[in-house]
Amino acid sequence: MLQSIILGAVQGLCEFLPVSSSGHLALFQVFMGFGGNMLTFDILLHFATLLAVILYFWRDIWQILREWFGGWTGRRRSGWSYGWAVIIASFITAVIGLGLKSTAEKFSQNVILVGAGEIFTGIILVLIPVLSSSRRNSSLLKTAIFVGIAQGIAVLPGVSRSGMSIAMGLFMGLGMSEAFRFSFLISIPAVLGATLLECVKFLKSGGAVFLPEGYIVAAVVAFVLGLASLVLMRRIASAKNWAYFGVYCLAVGLAVIFLS
C-alpha cells in the first residue's frame, strides 16, 4: 500500500514537470523491488493525471470541441483548425507509440536505458532557451506533425513527453504559453488511447494483469498532486526555468547509470 502511494505521488508530481514521469516510475519500481510488467499500473496512474488535465483545461476543451463540430455546418473559427491539429498530432503519436510499445516495455525494466532516456531529455531541455530564441514561422499543420512525432518518441521511459512536445512546439514557432497548452491538450487522446488498449489487453488476458495493492489510492494521490503540480507549472513555465529541469534530468540520468 505504501509503495503504491509513493508511486502515485511520483506520477502526480512528475507528470507535468519535464522530467519524465514514466522514467521516474520505472526507476522507483526497480529500486522498490516491484517485479513483472508494470505497464498497466503506469497507464492507470497516467489516466489519473489525465483527469487532472481535463479538469484544468475543460474550458479550452469545450471551446475546441464546440467550434470543431460547428465547423462542419457553419462558420469555421479557430477551434476548427486547432481541433484538426490535435487530431493529426494524436494520429502520428499513435502510429509511433504503437511501433515502440514493446521496446518501451523492455526499456522500463532496464535501469541503464531509463537513465539514458533521462540524459536525452536533459539535453533537449537545456537547449530550450536556444530553441525558443530561434523560432520558425511554421503553419499549425506542420507544427502538429512535428509535435506529434516528438510526443510519440516520448513513449520511451526516461524521455519526457511534456519536455519533448513543448521543445518541438517552441522550435516550430509557438510561444511558451501556447506550446504548454498544445502539449497537454494533445496528451489527452494519447493517454485515452493507451488506456483503452490496456483495457482490451486486460479483457483478453482474463484479468492476468499486475496491479499492486492500493492501486486505487495511488490513482487518487496521482490525481490530486497532478492537479496541484499542473497549476504550479503553468505559473512558473518559462524558457529559462526549463533549462534547470534539463540539468536535473542530466544529473539523474548520469547518477542512475553510474550507480547501476
How much of the chain exceeds pLDDT 90, in percent?
25
207 three-class SS: coil
Cβ neighbours of residue 140 closer than 8 Å, sequence gap 6 or more: 81, 82, 85
Stretch among 59-63, 133-137, 160-164, 250-254 having the lowest mean pLDDT: 133-137
- In whole angstroms, what is the distance from residue 190 CA to residue 80 CA? 20
DSSP state of 206: T
CB-CB contact of 159 with 20 (8 Å): yes
Q: Cα 37 to chain center, whole Å?
A: 20
Helix crossing, 2-14 with 39-56: angle to 10°? 50
Stretch among 7-16, 30-39, 54-63 having the lowest mean pLDDT: 30-39
Instruction: Summarize the confidence of residues 71-88 as an average pLDDT.
Output: 88
More confident residue, 107 or 80: 80
Q: What's the mean per-residue pLDDT of the chain?
A: 83
The per-residue pLDDT for 119 is 93
Helix crossing, 21-31 with 2-14: angle to 10°? 160
CB-CB contact of 147 with 169 (8 Å): yes
Structural domain span for residue 129 = 2-259
The per-residue pLDDT for 207 is 54
More confident residue, 227 or 212: 227
Number of domains into which the chain is organized: 1
